[in-house]
Amino acid sequence: MSEREDFTGKPNLKVLEFSHCGHKFKGSNWYDLKVVEGAAKVEQNGLLLSFDDRMSRDMRKPFFDLEVTVDQKKHRLEVFFFGTAWVLDFFGL
């Protein structure tokens, strides 16, 4: 399993999971400020949708801005990080 897939044992690991219409979504992120490393990912039903290891970003914009399909309908999934807090927007297109 690659480092992109497995965050087990990473420092300051945060995980957020939710379900929508039988689909399971999972967002994970970790960081280590001592060595200035970290990463975040979003999964749908166990499949990696997106991965990013940027340590800085514009907090006014979503960290992930994804188009996902649930029951043959497209939806937009936006993920914001504010310190250790997550905000998710999930809406139909």
Task: Give CA separation, 15 vs 1, 77, 92, in Å.
Answer: 18, 16, 24
Residue 11 phi/psi, 5-degree rounding, is -70, 150
Q: Where are the domains of the chain?
A: 14-92
In a structure prediction context, what are the per-residue pLDDT tens digits for the chain, which is 93 residues long? 555 678 999 999 988 898 888 999 998 988 898 998 999 999 999 999 999 988 777 878 888 999 999 988 999 998 887 766 667 677 664
Question: Would you say the pTM of this structure is higher than 0.85?
Answer: no
